[in-house]
Amino acid sequence: MNASGNIKASIRQLRVPGRPSVTDYFDSFTKLPDAEIRRIFETALKLRDEHRYDESMQKFSALLGLNPTSDQHIALLILIGNIHYLKREYPAALEIYQEAWNAALAINNQEAAGFAYGNAGIIYHVISKPDKALEFQKKALEIDLQLGNKHWEATHLGNIGHIYRQKCEIDKALEYYMKAVEIDRQLGNKHGEANQLGNIGLIYREKGELDKALEYHMKAVEIDHQLGNKHGEATHLGNIGLIYREKGEIDNALTCFEQALKIFKAIGAVPVIRLIEQTIAAIHNNLR
């Protein structure tokens, strides 16, 4: 069962707080006629969502022993690799992703190979090997271009932007973020657009162009507010607060930090709450 005919149902980003997203490749497990296999698969996902990673991996591993198709085998490998990523077992994740892309290339499943490459690129980015990260993200991007997969093209362009930013090549980072946001706009992908606008704002802040940075973050916060993406909205508000502080507009900075803090408290984002509280306290101390 090749997933290329049903992208939305078979592929999704696995969002990990504080780290870049990797990609789940489900193939067509949720549509299997075998109710027992589908039950095991759905249980494995539920266990993973509950952070019961070892139990989840046992379920996915059990499915490997139930004579999956070649495409399903690859999907399971990628899912197992993603659990290793969640557990910060990065060498193990890379080993599994390599097994997945080799298996995918052996049956000419370019799409699955691309997601395995992209996930490997994320690992190399996290462990601060930007040249390797760039190599694998560009392999994934090349497959996106071959398949005409615009959504994932935008995602991988954004990931490449992150890597160039890690390499302190901020003009190259800006180039890739701009390409990504243009595609997201063409697709009507508002979530992706807001994310890339925020990235562009970060670059302009690093370049010292604070008014341009403010412009992009303002656009991003407006979109996330419309979408009801509370975490994104609060993140952009925090970045706007930092820009106002650098511009010396302390009242505006405090207003943004307090708005961000209120949202983060509402959604229970504990690590960020502490950081913003410390930032607000430092501003008040400087005003005394």
| Residue 188 pLDDT > 50 | yes
Paired tokens of 196: 């890339």
* Confidence at 36, pLDDT banded by 50, 70, 90: confident
Rounded Cα distance between 222 and 205, Å, is 19
Instruction: Single out the residue of 97, 102, 65 nearest to residue 81, CA to CA.
Output: 97
Tell me what the pLDDT averaged over the chain comes to.
92
Query: Is residue 157 in a domain?
Result: no
Q: What is the per-residue pLDDT for 33? A: 67
Tell me how many domains the chain contains.
1
Query: Is residue 96 in a domain?
Result: yes
Contact between 150 and 187 (Cβ < 8 Å):
yes
Per-residue pLDDT tens digits for 232-285: 999 999 999 999 999 999 999 999 999 999 999 999 988 899 999 999 999 998
* Three-class DSSP category at 13: strand
Query: Is residue 245 in a domain?
Result: no
Bridge partners (DSSP) listed for residue 23: 13
| Residue 135 pLDDT > 80 | yes
Query: DSSP per residue over 147-199, as a string?
Result: HT-HHHHHHHHHHHHHHHHHTT-HHHHHHHHHHHHHHHHHHT-HHHHHHHHHH
| Residue 224 pLDDT > 70 | yes
Q: What is the per-residue pLDDT for 28? A: 64
Contact between 59 and 51 (Cβ < 8 Å):
no
Query: Is residue 74 in a domain?
Result: yes
Pick the range with the lowest mean pLDDT from 30-34, 56-60, 231-235, 267-271.
30-34
Please give the residue range of the domain that contains residue 7. 1-145
Query: Is residue 137 in a domain?
Result: yes
CA–CA distances in Å: residue 113 to residues 23, 48, 75, 159, 288: 12, 23, 10, 17, 58
| Residue 125 pLDDT > 90 | yes
- Better-scored residue on pLDDT, 288 or 223: 223
| Residue 192 pLDDT > 90 | yes
Query: Is residue 246 in a domain?
Result: no
At 96, which CATH number?
1.25.40.10
Q: What is the per-residue pLDDT for 18? A: 78
Paired tokens of 222: 């407006």
Tell me what the mean pLDDT of segment 157-175 comes to. Answer: 97
| Residue 70 pLDDT > 80 | yes
Query: Is residue 57 in a domain?
Result: yes
Pick the range with the lowest mean pLDDT from 29-43, 49-63, 158-172, 232-246.
29-43
* Confidence at 4, pLDDT banded by 50, 70, 90: very low
Tell me what the mean pLDDT of segment 137-158 comes to. Answer: 96
Q: What is the per-residue pLDDT for 143? A: 97
Query: Is residue 236 in a domain?
Result: no
Query: DSSP per residue over 64-78, as a string?
Result: HTS---HHHHHHHHH
Q: What is the per-residue pLDDT for 37? A: 87
Tell me what the mean pLDDT of segment 99-117 comes to. Answer: 96
